[in-house]
Amino acid sequence: MTDTRKVALVTGGNKGIGFEAARQLAQLDHRVVIGARDQHRGQAAAEQLQSEGAEASYVVLDVSAHDTVTAAIAVIEQQYGRLDVLINNAGTAPTEGAPSEVALDTLRDTYETNVFGLVAVTQAALPLLRRAVAGRIVNLSSGAGSLTVVSGPDWRPEWNGLAYNTSKSAVNAVTVAFATELRATPIKVNAVNPGYTRTDMSPGADRPASAGAAVVVRYATLPADGPTGGFFDENGPVAW
């Protein structure tokens, strides 16, 4: 009998929101594949989920290293033959000063992971997503990627980062581009702001990573009449 359980890849899935999203998808009977740069951390994360009863595995995947991207997708194709859910979670948030002081190398490195890496994984995974009955792509964005939010009077000067903020604005634009291309297909592509949650990037947050992951999972499991090409947080649409 053919196993109809959905297959989900979560980049950067060995910790934080990515790990919690993988856990929640597993609880919804998805077979989850954790993409992790570090083999040992990826293996440990998969084993943790397995100990909880999940069908979980890992692939070595560094979104900024194209050879690992293609190799990871090849492993998923060989093992499952398709991909139902792609969560582009892997990201970086560098220490920044004022925009006028940010080194170009910092900008390049941030975009390499947050934007170019996301595009590389999405392009590589699309053939497998097209084989699914209704593929779902969720791109991790941020409130800092909203031009409306960051240009508002309440946006504090210390939050006025150049590299991270603009990389997430670019993620939103990339989301719209892919959603527009795929609008005539069953695949839905959305950007999600998981909110200010406690992760390595924001250790001072009170909100647990599981709460941010729940928002991600909501848009990774949209019904056929769900939205595409949007930007959402736990309360609904976010202004671009």
Active-site annotation, residues: 164
Nearest to 217 by CA among 3, 4, 15, 32: 32
Nearest to 76 by CA among 34, 15, 19, 135: 34
**Residue 50 · residue 56 · CB < 8 Å:** yes
* Distance (Å, whole) CA 61 – CA 89: 12
* Distance (Å, whole) CA 26 – CA 54: 6
Q: What one-character-per-residue DSSP string does 103-122 give? A: -HHHHHHHHIIIIIIHHHHH
Question: Quick one: CA torsion of 218, 221, 225, 231, rounded to 10 degrees?
Answer: 50
Residue 214: strand, helix, or coil = helix
Within 13 Å and on the Cβ side, how many CA atoms surround 9?
34
Question: Quick one: CA torsion of 8, 9, 11, 14, rounded to 10 degrees?
Answer: 70
- The residues with which 87 forms a beta bridge, in sequence order, are 10, 138
